[in-house]
């Protein structure tokens, strides 16, 4: 797992880089602000890991949350499930919103 900062993520998304976004926030948090992607709340991740497409195991995934702390946990969970190219958004979507 490697971190990615908000500026880099925003630039890469604007450039159309093929990134998969996994948002692990609660539905309420996601209603307030979202950059898209697959939504699986952290507390459901282990039960719903099968909802993540198998193709993502070989793709670049950015896990996002509000502050970057819970997404770091989720990234470790994904690594244990066989996903190999995972990034945690440093500072979370709070940092992304102000870039």
Instruction: Give 14-23 pLDDT, tens digit per residue.
Output: 999 999 999 9
CA–CA distance, 39 with 25 (Å, rounded to integer): 8
Supply the pLDDT for residue 1: 85
Separation of alpha carbons 92 and 69, rounded Å: 8
Convert the pLDDT of each residue in 60-91 to its tens digit.
Answer: 999 999 999 999 999 999 999 999 999 999 99
Is 2-97 assigned to CATH 3.40.250.10? yes
Cα separations (Å) of 38 from 16, 63, 99?
17, 10, 22
DSSP 3-state of 3 = strand
User: Tokens at residue 8, please?
Assistant: 């880099």
């Amino acid at each position: 797992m490697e971190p990615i900062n908000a500026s880099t993520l925003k630039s890469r998304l604007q450039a159309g880089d093929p990134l998969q976004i996994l948002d692990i926030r609660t539905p309420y948090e996601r209603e307030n602000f979202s950059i898209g992607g697959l939504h699986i709340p952290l507390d459901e991740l282990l039960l719903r890991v099968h909802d993540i497409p198998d193709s993502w195991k070989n793709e670049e995934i950015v896990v996002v949350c509000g502050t970057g702390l819970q997404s770091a946990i989720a990234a470790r969970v994904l690594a244990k499930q066989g996903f190999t190219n995972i990034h945690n958004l440093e500072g979370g979507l709070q940092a992304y919103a102000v870039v």
